[in-house]
Structure 1
Amino acid sequence: MGDVLGWRKLLGVIAPSTNTVVQPDMERMRPEGVTNHFSRIYVEDPLALSNEDFIAGTTAIAENTLDAVRSVMTCKPDYLVLGMSAITFYGGVEGSRKWKKQVEDLSGTGASTGAESVAAALHAYGAKTVSFVSPYYPVANAEVRNFLEQSGFTVKRDIPLECKRWTDIAKVGPDRLREVMAELDGDDVDAIVQVGTNLSMVDLAAEYEAKLAKPVIAINTATYWHALRAVGIEDKIQGMGRLLAEF
């Protein structure tokens, strides 16, 4: 007999211990018969005042990820959803693949990363030129830009919000993000992307996608969508943008 609640699939969801957005976001996207099993990457909530501080913080996340993977694998999930963002973009396409391989080699199962999921979503929409926002410092935005360009997209603009602490990311409200959207949009971009999994933008992305008549991709939506499709769950989920509803 299979799992009573997760009779279709069990998904292990990994995110930093400071992250308060991934878990509720992905619970909202969960179809019937699919269950999410959360495992937290232990990380402090350091004060970041520079590019160097930011890189040090994301390095700590990277170093502790495998322990969180070991923990969640004890419930025997069918697949992993990696709800951390910055480190999955580092080193371009090849760096992203190497990072994912570490996780898959340890777990013995497949995994969806934020970086590959964003690229897959953009390809699904047929987007070519993009702009993006992150809660990061410029050094990490440069890594995101590099990954996107290596994946075949032209990046026109990007905005690093330079959040000082990991927990501050979840405090960036819709008013600030509406200002950002106005800066990112333009006739020269055919898609807008948000990265940083603790930045709450699932609903705002869906709102602006309808308003602007162009793809607006929130990374948590993209990553969960990518995971569902990877394990053969094709349910169309309404209310959180075209990606889950149409693709």
Structure 2
Amino acid sequence: MARIGFITPSSNTVLEPETYRMLAGVDGVTVHFARFQVLKIATDDDALNQFDLAPQLAAAESLADCRPDVIAWCGTSGGWMGLERDRALCAAITERTGCPATTSTLAQIAAFRELGAHNYALVTPYLSTIQSRIVETFGDEGFACVAEEHLEDPGNFSFSTYGPDVISAMVRRVAEKAPDAISIFCTNFDGVRIAPLLERELGIPVIDSTALTLWHSLVLAGLDPAIVGNQGVLFQKSGAGSDRPTAGVASSSSS
């Protein structure tokens, strides 16, 4: 039995049901959630202070009680706060719990590398100030944004209210620039079900944040992501060539 622990934004209504749906019929893998408060996404101090390490680490410590094989922060805050923040969080989680750790943003970087993407297109519900920071963060890692779409919504709960037609139209528009990959970057922006369909339609890898966080968690747990069916080309990748920031750290769990 493999167990995965997910730290979840409190106002997120997409992540849990869609993760359970992806794992339906997958034997031997369970996923467990802990929340901390996230109510808006912006660059003011109140919004940024939501992502203080203390509540995230408290959530990780509560997850450690169920002896997970890996713990992931299922949020994209590293996109606008910087990867060093996420790497510090992962190091602290591993120090306190003994579990390998990742985040949605680190998983995105790992996915780009695994897919051999040199450039990408970005689709989010975020404000332009957040969007520009994400582009800068990914640029620092060597990935060029060739097209982007965003909705100027400070969220966070409201992100889940956009339907598949809205998200699909955004993806199709950025696909016109023929990027190496398309990122639907937000774990409360429900691209999980439509991403594989759009990938087949467009012939471009379409990567949803909720799905890719599960992908990277499976990789870090030493599992073959292909056990999750119908989630596109990324789940056929083993992660052997990806950025595995805490891979090799022994888990405290007993599988």
TM-score range for the pair, normalised by the shorter chain length: 0.7 to 0.9
Calculate percent identity across the aligned residue pairs. Answer: 27
Preserved CA contact (<8 Å) 1:239 1:245: no
Partner of 2:19: 26
Match of 1:169 among 156, 159, 162: 159
Q: Secondary structure of 1:29's partner?
A: helix
- Normalising by structure 1, we get a TM-score of 0.86
Deviates more, 1:225-234 or 1:141-150: 141-150
Runs of 4+ in 1 over 4 A off after TM superposition: none
Preserved CA contact (<8 Å) 2:225 2:237: no
Say if 1:194 and 1:58 are closer, same or farther in 2 by CA, change over 3 A.
farther
Partner of 1:224: 214
Preserved CA contact (<8 Å) 1:131 1:189: yes
| Distance in structure 2 (CA, Å) of the matches to 1:19 and 1:35 | 19
Partner of 1:72: 63
1:189 and 2:179 aligned: yes
**1:1-247 correspondence runs (5 A):** 7=1, 9-30=2-23, 31-43=26-38, 45=39, 51-53=42-44, 56-63=46-53, 64-85=55-76, 87-236=77-226, 237-247=228-238
Which AA in structure 2 matches 1:36? V
Q: CA deviation at 1:147?
A: 2.0
Say if 1:56 and 1:157 are closer, same or farther in 2 by CA, change over 3 A.
farther
Q: Secondary structure of 1:122's partner?
A: helix
Preserved CA contact (<8 Å) 2:147 2:177: no
Which AA in structure 1 matches 2:86? S
Q: CA deviation at 1:52?
A: 4.1
- Which consecutive residues of structure 2, in runs of 5 or more, have no partner in the other structure? 239-255
Q: CA deviation at 1:20?
A: 0.9
Q: CA deviation at 1:175?
A: 1.4
Say if 1:151 and 1:143 are closer, same or farther in 2 by CA, change over 3 A.
same
Deviates more, 1:22-31 or 1:169-178: 22-31
| Distance in structure 2 (CA, Å) of the matches to 1:195 and 1:112 | 16
Q: CA deviation at 1:109?
A: 1.4
How large is the Cα RMSD of the aligned pairs? Answer: 2.0
- Normalising by structure 2, we get a TM-score of 0.84
Q: CA deviation at 1:133?
A: 1.2
| Distance in structure 2 (CA, Å) of the matches to 1:103 and 1:159 | 33
| Distance in structure 1 (CA, Å) of the matches to 2:21 and 2:85 | 31
Partner of 1:3: none
| Distance in structure 2 (CA, Å) of the matches to 1:189 and 1:69 | 35
Q: Secondary structure of 1:38's partner?
A: strand
| Distance in structure 1 (CA, Å) of the matches to 2:188 and 2:197 | 19
